[in-house]
Amino acid sequence: MGIFERFLTIWVAVSIVVGIVLGEMFPSVFQSIGNLTAYEINLPVTVLIWLMIVPMLMKVDFGALHEVGRQWRGIGVTLGVNWLIKPFTMAALGWLFIGFLFRPLLPEAQIESYIAGLILLGAAPCTAMVFVWSHLTKGDANFTLTQVALNDTIMIFAFAPIVALLLGISAITVPWETLTISVVAFIVIPVIAGQIIRRQVMKGGVAAFNDFDAKLKPVSMIALLSTLVLLFAFQGQQIIAQPMIIALLAVPIILQTYFIAAIAYVANKLLGVEHKIAAPSSMIGASNFFELAVATAIGLFGFSSGAALATVVGVLVEVPVMLSLVAIANRTRGWFPSSNVSQ
């Protein structure tokens, strides 16, 4: 691994601190950047996400996508965990910790709003960042793309009913424009861009492609760190003003992340799935589509609501926790078969 991958945890910690400090020093600048949105999606962050995942999607060979059908076990685990388990365990942990155990320590008026934010996180499995986690665990790029695309298709139909059920609301207003544009922005456009670049570079042969790929690696990592700086510059004031609330909200989110990753990882292990499939299969459920969760929380409950704050805490803990899961997955690679022709 290069210097960025080897010390990524340190770079992430530095980026978080830098983001918060810059947000405090230049609030008007970052407020202006934060206002550059379309359907609640921040445009500068979107560009950085493109720079983050296009180099990874460039590696996808669509000619091999037909083979992904052999990985039906990994796909089945992904879908089962994401839609039959994750939203409900997040709601249960929210009710247990925020609604009961931590209730005396939190403002009573915001309890239900905090739980709603956690539910929104649980109902929105990862879209963009899973490509990063898959890449860091040497996951199968074609499988990762396929499971994300399938997951996003289900999300369009399942997100609102699940959230409505768990919130006890008969009708919920979901920002459909945000959801649709997010899928286009974080899946369709990067895939097209990656394939155009792949075709052009492959004209020079495999060696030229590998050389080009090596040069792009720092671009993805720098884009990831820049994204963190922006996100924490946007939300730094809330984090500094409410450290105890942030810490309490982080507990069920962190427990949920490890629990869901463990379920998917162990299920894939028991089914005899290869590591390059098991790792991304567990990562997509463990991480969250925080852009959608934040946008929905703001649309339903307001920017200063407890729900919006809870979804921001999801962003706060996501990268450090997911990096620890990446480390665990890489250290346990030997638990899985190196190949499995029966998949």
Q: Which two tokens stand for residue 54?
A: 């296009």
Query: Which residue has 């022709």 as its token pair?
Result: 341
- Ranges of the chain whose pLDDT falls below 70: 1-9, 40, 60, 62-68, 127-128, 169-180, 182-183, 235, 238, 291, 295, 298-299, 302-304, 338-343
Ramachandran area for residue 36 (φ above 0: left; ψ -120 to 50: alpha; else beta): beta
- pTM score, whole prediction: 0.75
pLDDT > 70: what percent of the chain?
A: 85
Q: How many CB atoms lie within 10 A of CB 226?
A: 18
259 vs 270: CA distance, rounded Å: 16
Tens digits of per-residue pLDDT, 154-209? 877 788 788 878 877 534 455 566 666 766 777 778 888 888 998 999 889 888 88
2 vs 4: CA distance, rounded Å: 5
The answer to whether the CB of 121 falls within 8 A of the CB of 286 is: no
